[in-house]
Amino acid sequence: MKKLSFVDKYLTLWIFLAMAVGIALGALFPSLPSQMELVSYGQTNLALALGLILMMYPPLARVDYAKLPGVFRNLKVLGLSVVLNWILGPLLMFGLAALFLQGKPDLMSGLILIGLARCIAMVLVWNHLADGSPEYGAGLVALNSLFQIVAYAPLAFLFLTYLPETFGLPSFQVDITMGEIALSVAIYLGIPFLAGFLSRMVLVSRKGLVWYEESFLPAIGPITLIALLFTIVLMFSLKGKQILTLPLDVVQVSIPLMLYFICMFFLAFFAGRLLKARYPENAALSFTAAGNNFELAIAVAISVFGLNSGQAFAAVLGPLIEVPALVLLVQVSRWMHRRLYPNENGTAPA
């Protein structure tokens, strides 16, 4: 039975402490967001990008890239992932946003932008923490990245312009190019993907597989948690003042977001069970469906509607709600591993 380390056992506590530190920093130093703009390039905050890249590097270094073709041969899991991510996910977020925020069209459209941006980054961390398959996680994220480049702009028109007009809701025009989406994918997925691939290829050939798996991977493992906590502190510090001054808006956005993350996770998990997916593959499928590419949603909201818009505020709240929600779902996933997969190679976490 796999024993959790002291750090992993109290992961939720560390993350909530990081959130509290971030909010406190944002409230105590209101000039922090403008200072952080000095380390930004376009809509990309370099400090945040560095934290995300470092956070994803260890999980991607753990991937056995020789096994990736096997992921793409499992057409049932791939097909289910596409349906969950690119049909059910956007529809569910549209429905929840319209139900809870139709009186606040700027916040509603910000939520819809989050629902359209399928996860290509932090899902690898949640999948790793839940003992999901690194190969399936990487494969499904790669599939999402390809769909995102070609599908995000048309879906933005469908869900922000056409469907709202059809249902008598406020609509918006969104002008976003495939090039801008491809840049987001290249930064937040391409760099750590390449670093993980080169690490495995070069170090295994020079030092051997045993050294790589028993010495190198454990040595870089803590980078994920350190970078995750750094990223959370940074994200919450940039919006700490707004969170404290607009508590009602935070609550109104938080409710549909929490429902979205929970519904998507359980829909994916039990659909995977029906397909008889093993736990590692099912965990990767579920977290891929539940997570979102908040970097892209924030970039689109800021570039189209402006930094101080309600859309940008809702988009920024996305990861602030997603982080604690997905952390709790990691614990739920581990619990279901023990209860629903008790005899699966004896690997259920203790």
DSSP 142-208: HHHHHHHHHHHHHHHHIIIIIHHHHTT---------HHHHHHHHIIIIIHHHHHHHHHHHHHHHHH-
Lowest mean pLDDT among 42-46, 50-54, 63-67, 209-213: 42-46
Beta-bridge mates of residue 349: 2
The mean pLDDT value for 53-65 works out to 84
**314 falls within a domain:** yes
What is residue 7's predicted lDDT score, i.e. its pLDDT?
A: 59
Structure token pair of residue 303: 């570039």
**318 falls within a domain:** yes
Lowest mean pLDDT among 35-49, 213-227, 266-280, 311-325: 35-49
Phi-psi region of 43 (alpha: psi -120 to 50; beta: other; left: phi over 0): alpha
Q: Give the total number of structural domains in the chain.
A: 1
295 or 146, greater pLDDT:
146
Distance CA 33, CA 241 (A): 10
- Residue-range definition of the domain harbouring residue 311: 10-34+45-338
Going by the DSSP 8-state scheme, the letter that residue 120 receives in this structure is: S
Check which CATH number belongs to the domain holding 201 and give it.
1.20.1530.20
**5 falls within a domain:** no
Mean pLDDT rounded to a whole number for the chain: 83
**3 falls within a domain:** no
What is residue 307's predicted lDDT score, i.e. its pLDDT?
A: 60
Give the count of beta carbons closer than 10 Å to the beta carbon of residue 156. 24
**236 falls within a domain:** yes
- Residue 87's pLDDT band, with cuts at 50, 70 and 90, is very high
**169 falls within a domain:** yes
**347 falls within a domain:** no
**182 falls within a domain:** yes
Give the count of beta carbons closer than 10 Å to the beta carbon of residue 145. 23
